[in-house]
Amino acid sequence: MADELENKIESEITEASEKVEEAVKEEAAVAEKVEQKAAKAAEATKDATAAAATAAVAAASADATKQAAKEAEAAAKAAKKAEEQAAKEAAKRQAALEKEQAKARAAQEKAAAKAEKKRQKREAQQALIDACPPQYRPVSTSKYFWLAFLSFIPVIGVIATLILCVAGRNRNVKNFEKAILAYYIIALILCLIAIIVVGVCLPADTREDFLNSLNKIISSVSFS
């Protein structure tokens, strides 16, 4: 009886131990499953994080690409505008240069036409001079100057004027010397009138003073 009871107790203890072992194994299996699920959840979370990071990188890359496209478009517009401005400036400079060249050509042509006109005028005048007989040919300004200088020399000028009035070959020179001779005659007549007035109208003392003053003046300007 006691042996049966011991065997029964041992069998119950053995069954209880087996049940406990099975329960422990089941708990271990559940824990392992939970760990596997946690690992899978962690991997899923990791994959989700990586996907989110990839998406964020892709979004940032898309924004950067869009921004770069905008900047490139703005740069292209600026370059086009600068090119158009440069083209306008070049066209403006070219127009100004062409205008200056046209103005210079017009001035050159005008100067050439003026010079040609002067040359033709000189040639026409020279042709008229050559066509004139020697006694009627024009006299230059310098020749008139020296003739006047010679004519106004005291004594010698009067003699030269009389000779050129009579024996001059050129009619223009003769007419010029005749004009000088007319001045001499007018001056002589005025001197005679002054002498008569001084000799007749002035008192003796005043006449003497006047003649002395006149003599002094003539002596001061005399070439002797």
* Mean pLDDT of the region 14-42: 72
Quick one: pLDDT at residue 146? 92
pLDDT > 70: percent of the chain: 81
Quick one: pLDDT at residue 182? 93
Instruction: Report d(CA 30, CA 200) in Å as an integer.
Output: 175
* Mean pLDDT of the region 189-194: 87
Quick one: pLDDT at residue 64? 73
Asked if 168 contacts 174 with a C-beta cutoff of 8 angstroms, the reply is yes
Quick one: pLDDT at residue 224? 44
Quick one: pLDDT at residue 194? 80
Residue 210 CB coordination number (10 Å): 13
Strands (E), the chain: none
Residue 137 CB coordination number (10 Å): 15
Provide the residue ranges of all domains of the chain, joining segments of one domain with +.
139-220
Q: What are the tens digits of pLDDT across the range 71-123? A: 878 888 888 888 888 888 888 888 888 888 888 888 888 888 888 888 888 88
- DSSP class of residue 135? G
Instruction: Report d(CA 178, CA 163) in Å as an integer.
Output: 10
What residues contact 137, with CB distance under 8 A and at least 6 apart? Answer: 129, 170, 172
Q: How far apart are the first and last CA of the chain?
A: 202
Which of the two residues, 220 and 222, has the higher pLDDT score? 220
Quick one: pLDDT at residue 52? 64
Q: What are the tens digits of pLDDT across the range 14-27? A: 776 677 677 767 77
Quick one: pLDDT at residue 48? 64
Look up residue 162 and give its amino acid: L
- Asked which of 4-13, 90-99, 139-148 is least confident by mean pLDDT, the reply is 4-13
pLDDT at 51 over 60: yes
Confidence of residue 208 (pLDDT cuts 50, 70, 90): confident
Which of the two residues, 34 and 118, has the higher pLDDT score? 118
